Amino acid sequence: MTDVSPELLAQRKRAAAAPRRAVLADAPVVSRTLARSFATDPVVDWFVRDDARREKALDQWFDFAVKKLGLPGREVWMSDDSSAVALWIPPPQDTMQLSIVDEVAAIPMFLSVVSFQRLGRMQRLRAAFDANHPKAPHWYLFFLAVDPDCQGQGLGSAILKSTLDAIDAKHEAAYLEASSEKNVPLYLRHGFEIVSEFRPEPTGPKLWGMWRKPR
């Protein structure tokens, strides 16, 4: 965390606690926050290409995730300064089921993101996600991100609480996969429980499936 004034810290936290719904015009800043936040994430690090094109690959992946998977469900939330982002997929997560045409059209992008060498990793990761995803109706927290320059300031907790409050008002469940052990305590504090632990392959990164009962 960089040194900032108490006033700026308070301003950022207020913005994260009262996020607004992102629209298409926000996609570049939202995807950039995601790319910066997940640049060292164990799972992203495992499947995204590891060469000179890595930074571009991260931008491509999160641009796709925001525009094609997140925004159609209208539950991508952001602080006004885009320092905190919560990308939820509402039930029944049908926006994540790409048509055959869209799947085929996305192949060049996927190859650019992972490279031929890591294509199998992405396929095994998707299979592991599908195998462990709960069948009961729920809200799916696809990504929660805070810009690296603003981490450690309580912004992730603030935007998570705000969006969970809206889900609680509907008395519905929520689910996520924690891709880093250091983030598990955050989700536990917000009422999630670990329901599964899995890896895409024996030597792959560990993930924690976490479920939050309706409130």
Q: How many domains does the chain have?
A: 1
Whole-number pLDDT of residue 2: 56
Output the six-digit token pair for 66: 């925001």
**Residue 1 in domain:** no
* 31-65 pLDDT tens trace: 999 999 999 999 999 999 999 999 999 999 999 99
For the ranges 93-97, 140-144, 149-153, which has the lowest average pLDDT? 93-97
For residues 145-173, average pLDDT: 97
Length of the chain: 215
State the CATH number of the domain containing residue 150: 3.40.630.30
- Name every residue whose Cβ is closer than 8 Å to that of residue 100 and which is 6 or more positions away in sequence: none
Whole-number pLDDT of residue 98: 85
**Residue 165 in domain:** yes
φ, ψ at 130 (rounded to 5°): -60, -40
Domain of residue 118 covers 6-10+19-212
For residues 128-135, average pLDDT: 96
**Residue 122 in domain:** yes
The pLDDT-based confidence of 10 (bands split at 50, 70, 90) is very high
* 11-32 pLDDT tens trace: 999 999 999 999 999 999 999 9
Q: What is the CA radius of gyration of the chain?
A: 17
- In sequence order, what DSSP letters do the residues of 8-74 get, joined into one string? HHHHHHHHHHS-EE--GGGHHHHHHHHHHHTTT-HHHHHHS--STTHHHHHHHHHHHIIIIIIGGGT
| Mean pLDDT estimate for the chain | 95
Nearest residue to 208 (alpha-carbon basis) of 185, 190, 188, 181: 181
Q: pLDDT exceeding 70 applies to what percent of the chain?
A: 99
